[in-house]
Structure 1
Amino acid sequence: MNLFRRAKALLSTDEPSPATIAIVQPPTIAKPQTPDAAPRHLLVPAETAGDAESEALKHRAANALVGKHLKRPDPAPVEPMPVDPTPVTLAPEPEPEWRPVALPANRGKFFQSPTPVGKGFILEREEAKAVLNDWSIPYSDVVRPYLTSEDLADDPRQQSGRWIIDFGQRELDEAGRYPRALEIVQDRVKPERDTNADETFRTRWWLFGRPRLPMRAALEPLKRYAVLGSLGKRMIVAWAHPWIVASNSTMIFAGDDDYSMGILLSGAYDTWARAGTLEGDLRNTPTAALATFPWPDPVDASHRAAVAAACVALYRRRSELCREREVGLSRLYGPGWPEANPDLAKLHRRLDEAVADAYGWDPSIAADPAGILERLLQLNRDVAEGRRPYKPFPAAG
C-alpha cells in the first residue's frame, strides 16, 4: 500500500515550464504531510535531472506496481490554482570570487633561494674558520655565510650561524683552485650525488643542485637584498649582504632600496601574505604572495620618500631592541606585542599609513585588514585584466 501511495504522489507531480521572459510565480499552497512521502532519491526536479530522466523515474515507480499485479492508479484531479499576474524579477547571478593571479611585471624581482641538494655543502662555524684561515687562497670566494629562516627569526642580529661551500657555476677545474673546499664536497657530497636519479646532479656533483642562476644575475649589481621567511606566524624580513647565501627555506627580493623594504614590512603585504592560508599563517612564495601582490603604482617621489623614511626609522629601532634584549624577531613580535613595545608599534603605524597613502587610500585603511585585502584583490584584478597600467619597478639605469 505504501508503494502505491508513493507512485501516486510521484505520478501526480506536474513541473511547470520555466518562463522565457518573466516568471509568473503562483502562490504556494501548503499540502498536508503524509507519513508515506516519496523517497528523496526519487524526487528529482526536471530542471535538475532533465525531462527525459524525470519521466523515466516516474515510469520506473509506476511499473513497480504492475510487477505486483496491481492496477496503475489514475492521477488525482488537480484543482486549478489562481495565478498572480505580477512578474518576478530574477536577481543577477553573483559574480564569482576573484582568485589572484601572478602579475608579469613582478617577474625578475622575487626568487626562491638556492637549493644545495646535499648536506655536505654546509659547514659549522669552526670548520669554516679553519678553511678561511688559509690565506694563501681566497677561500672567501666559495666559503660563504649561510642564512636560514631560523637565523632570521631567532638571531638578535639576523645573522647566519653556519657557512656553506658554493662554487657558483665554476667548472670542476676552476673549483680545483680551492682544494680544501673541493675536497670537503668530494668526500661528503659526491657519494650521495652518485646515487641520485638526476643525471645532472650526478655529473656536476660539486655544484648546487638548483643554483637559481636568474636570482644570482639579479643580485649581482646590488649592495644588499631582502630575505623573507617563507612560512610561519610572523612576517620576518631583513637585509642581507650579497656575499651571504640564503637557504632554500627563504625567499629573496632583488632590490636594495628602503622604499621596497618598507612595502615588504607593511601591514598591506602582511595581510596579503596571510590571506587564504590556514590559521592566518604566512605563505611567502614566488608563485603565491610575492608573484601576485600588487605594488603601489604609480607612486610619486614624495610618497616613495615617506615610505622609505618610515622604513628606515622602523628598521633601526627594531634592530636596537633586538640587540638590547638579545632576542630575535620572533620573540620581539611574540607574546606581549604590541603592548610591550609601544614605540615600535607607533613606527609600524607610521609606515602602514605612508604605504596606504602611496596606494591612494585613506590612512584609516591601514588599520582595516579586510579593507586592505578587498582593495588589493581589486587592484590585482584590474592589472590582470588590463584596466590599468602597472610598472612598479622602474628599470635600473
Structure 2
Amino acid sequence: MGFVVEPDEAQEWIAADVRNAEVLFPYLNGEDLNSRPDSSSSRWVIDFNDWDEARAARYRLPYKRAAELVRPERQRKKPDGSYVLRNPLPERWWQYAEKRPAMRNAIADLGEVLVLAQVSNTAQPVFIPNGTVPSHKLVVFASDSRALLTCLASSVHYVWARKYSGAMKNDLSYSPSDVFLTLPQPTTTRRMEQIGAVLDEERREIMLRRNLGLTKIYNLVHDSRIVDDKDVERLRAIHVEIDDATVEAYGWDDIQLDHGFHSYRQNERWTVGAAARIEIVDRLLEENLRRAGTADQARIGSPSGMTQEGGDRLFN
C-alpha cells in the first residue's frame, strides 16, 4: 500500500513535474470495479515496473514516497541481521513484489483488456483501459475480444466457475487455473462478437445513466420483484441472447436453457434452469475428454512424438 497515492496528490505531483505521469497510473481493485458506475479506479499508484533504482530516483516525489513507506517495510531484519522478506524484495524495494512481466507483455499492444473481480457474487467481466494497474484481486484476460466477453459473461462460464472455484461466504472466489484454463471454449462466432459488443455498450450506458455499479445493477437483474424496469428487462434479454449465442457456438442448440429466476447456491438469480446447468457441465466435461483424445492422437501420429499444430492447446 506504500505505492498507492490519492488522486489529488497524484495530480499535484504531475503538476510539479510532468514526467511523474510516466510512473503514476490509475490503480483498480475489485471493489472499484464492482461499485463504481464507470468501473474506474478511485486511487492511483506508483509503478516503476522493472527499472533499476537510479532510473526510479529521477522521479523525485514518487521515489521519495516509496523510500519513506515501502523501503522500511521491505528491509525489516531478523535478530540475526538477515532480511525478514524473501529476495529480491529487500534489494529491489522500489519495485512491486509481483510485477507480472508475462501479463504486461501479453497486453502491451491492446487498448483495453477484460478483467474480472476475483471475489464477487456478480462475476461479470468488464473492459478497462490498458494503462490501468490492476490489483492482485483482479483477474486479467489478455484480450479485447467481444466474443470472449460473451463467453465469460455467459451462464456456461458461470456454472463452470461455480463448480471448480471456491467461495468466500456466498461469493465466487475465481481461480483462473481451475476455471479459465480448464474451460473448453467454443469456436467464436460473429453472433458472439455482436452480442458481446451490445452487452458492453448498453450495460455501460445504463450503469452511467443510473449511477449504479456492477454489483447494484446485477442485484436488480437477479431480483424477481423488479418487473417494470425497462433497463433491467433489457439486461435480462441481453443475457438470454449471450447464453443462446454461446451454446450455439458449442453446437448445443438442443439444450433447453429455461431462463428465469432460479434458486442457485442459496441465492435467487436470473439464470438458466437446474437441468440446463447440469447438462452444460456434463457436456463441457465430455468436450474436454474429446479434445484430450484428439491431442493424444496427434501426439501419436506425429513422427517426432510432438503435438501437431494446435494440438497442445487442450483448452483453447
Query: 2:111·2:129 contact (CA, 8 Å) conserved in 1?
Result: yes
RMSD: 2.1
Structure 2 residue aligned with 1:288, among 173, 178, 182? 178
Structure 1 residue aligned with 2:66, among 157, 170, 185? 185
Structure 1 residue aligned with 2:23, among 138, 142, 163? 142
With CA pairs under 8 Å and 6+ residues apart, which has the higher RCO, 1 or 2?
Answer: 1
2-structure distance, mates of 1:379, 1:211: 35
Alignment correspondent of 2:305: none
Alignment correspondent of 1:211: 99
How big is the shift at 1:338? Answer: 5.5
Alignment correspondent of 1:306: 191
Which secondary structure does the structure 2 equivalent of 1:217 belong to? helix
Query: 2:221·2:235 contact (CA, 8 Å) conserved in 1?
Result: no
Which secondary structure does the structure 2 equivalent of 1:167 belong to? coil
Alignment correspondent of 1:15: none
1:362 aligns with 2:253: yes
Query: 2:49·2:95 contact (CA, 8 Å) conserved in 1?
Result: yes
Alignment correspondent of 1:380: 288
Larger fraction in strand = 2
Structure 2 residue aligned with 1:232, among 107, 112, 120? 120
Change beyond 3 A, Cα 1:393–1:305: farther
Change beyond 3 A, Cα 1:336–1:308: closer
Alignment correspondent of 2:44: 163
Deviations 1:250-297 (A, max 9, x none): 11100111111111111111111111445774232232112211111x
Alignment correspondent of 2:239: 348
Alignment correspondent of 1:131: 13
Correspondences of 1:53-72 after superposition (within 5 Å): none
1:254 aligns with 2:172: no
Q: Which amino acid aligns with 2:158?
A: D
Structure 2 residue aligned with 1:275, among 152, 156, 163? 163
Alignment correspondent of 1:111: none
1-structure distance, mates of 2:24, 2:146: 29
Q: Which amino acid aligns with 2:136?
A: N
Farther off after superposition, 348-357 or 283-292: 283-292
Normalising by structure 2, we get a TM-score of 0.80
Displacement over 6 Å in runs of 4+: none
2-structure distance, mates of 1:159, 1:392: 35
Farther off after superposition, 317-326 or 154-163: 317-326
Change beyond 3 A, Cα 1:362–1:390: farther
Deviations 1:289-335 (A, max 9, x none): 12211111xx2xxx521001111112222112211221111011115
Query: 1:232·1:282 contact (CA, 8 Å) conserved in 2?
Result: yes
1-structure distance, mates of 2:176, 2:242: 24
Structure 1 residue aligned with 2:206, among 300, 304, 321? 321
Query: 1:230·1:283 contact (CA, 8 Å) conserved in 2?
Result: yes
Q: Which has the larger radius of gyration?
A: 1
Change beyond 3 A, Cα 1:392–1:351: farther
